[in-house]
């Protein structure tokens, strides 16, 4: 393990008022996104869209790292520059999604586990040689119904193994335990499951000798289910989120970069802002949003080159607003 190299990467990712753009959609996911704008999901359209995102003028003012999908790691801009080189020229750190998606947990109803540990050591080494500096592994947990203890432990152990492999290769691991927003669960029920999951995850990280100083935690905010009778206020969500994290996340973790998890762009930004208006916390509190940054951009783009500039401006606006939220200075009037 090269601690100095890991420290250098962490320091580049954790910059004041900057976050991470998640652009690591699988082929199945980006196909769904393109279907929403009636665009054929060809390889060239995928490449063109990623180039649109990665070449947005001024993006590095608010974005310190971008998570790529395996396909994007090998693609180039129309000028022949690799996407990795394109990002590095802007002082944006390139990362890579390394998990292979979800599969059902055998003999356990409703629960899923993340696959991808087979061959991960070789893949991480290959990704590093292609320029990736950090990686991401996503585990998923539902609240309604409650996940089994087996699902929690299995996913936590996979996160621990993945993180250890990454650090061995001097790749910073993003540890992503996502609590799904689907369902009618209450804020309190989400808080209880989030706390149980995070305790299990950090126990697994310790078991696999992962150095917490060289990871990024990418968790969900504590939220009521989308169909819950009571939809709590932004302030209540922020307080519940920080309450759970102060009980479960060691101060050694340098950065918590929240995922947006199906929230609207405006809600994800507003909650991040409310979190930063609470008293000082021991971690850098940032964002690693996918849809909450990209959706306005994608809807404007529609696969048409004449819309490129306006689409990039929409992406830049969302990045800027989330940067403001990290300073606790976001206001809904800025959405206009």
Residues catalogued as catalytic: 176, 218
Strand ranges, E, within the chain: 19-23, 63-68, 93-97, 102-104, 112-114, 134-141, 172-179, 216-217, 255-258, 284-289
Pairing of strands 102-104, 112-114: antiparallel
DSSP state of 172: E
DSSP H helices, 91-171, are 120-129, 149-168
Residue reference for tokens 């009980």: 247
Rounded CA separation 92/288 (Å): 14
Contact (Cβ atoms closer than 8 angstroms) between residue 267 and residue 278: no
Asked if the peptide bond before residue 273 counts as cis, ω within 30 degrees of 0, the response is no
- The burial class, CB within 10 Å (0-12 / 13-18 / 19+), for 317 is middle
Angstrom distance (rounded) from CA 259 to CA 319: 14
Whole-angstrom distance, CA of residue 40 vs CA of residue 164: 39
Nearest to 72 by CA among 121, 130, 113, 115: 130
């Amino acid at each position: 393990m090269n601690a100095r190299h890991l420290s250098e990467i962490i320091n580049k990712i954790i910059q004041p008022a900057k976050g991470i753009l998640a652009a690591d959609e699988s082929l199945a996911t980006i196909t769904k996104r393109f279907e929403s704008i009636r665009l054929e999901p060809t390889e060239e359209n995928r490449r063109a869209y990623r180039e649109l995102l990665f070449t947005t003028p001024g993006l590095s003012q608010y974005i310190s790292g971008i998570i790529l999908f395996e396909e994007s790691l090998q693609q180039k801009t129309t000028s022949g520059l690799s996407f990795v080189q394109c990002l590095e020229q802007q002082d944006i750190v390139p990362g890579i999604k390394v998990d292979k998606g979800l599969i059902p947990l055998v003999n356990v109803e409703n629960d899923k586990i993340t696959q991808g540990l087979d061959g991960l050591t070789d893949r991480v080494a290959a990704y590093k040689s292609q320029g990736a500096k950090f990686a991401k592994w996503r585990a998923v947990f539902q609240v309604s119904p409650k996940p089994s203890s087996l699902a929690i432990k299995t996913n936590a152990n996979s996160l621990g193994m993945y993180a250890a492999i990454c650090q061995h290769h001097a790749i910073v691991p993003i540890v992503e335990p996502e609590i799904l927003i689907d369902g009618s669960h209450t804020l309190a029920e989400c808080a209880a499951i989030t706390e149980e999951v995070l305790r299990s995850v950090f126990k697994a990280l310790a078991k696999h000798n992962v150095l917490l100083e060289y990871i990024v935690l990418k968790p969900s905010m504590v939220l009521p289910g989308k169909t819950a009778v009571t939809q709590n206020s932004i302030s209540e969500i922020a307080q519940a989120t920080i309450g759970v994290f102060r009980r479960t996340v060691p101060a050694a973790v340098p950065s918590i970069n929240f995922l947006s998890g199906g929230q609207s762009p405006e809600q994800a930004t507003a909650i991040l802002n409310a979190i930063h208006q609470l008293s000082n916390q021991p971690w850098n509190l940032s964002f690693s949003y996918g849809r909450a940054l990209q959706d306005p951009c994608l809807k404007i783009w529609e696969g048409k080159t004449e819309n490129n500039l306006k689409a990039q401006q929409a992406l830049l606006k969302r990045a800027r607003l989330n940067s403001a939220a990290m300073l606790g200075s976001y206001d809904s009037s800025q959405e206009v």
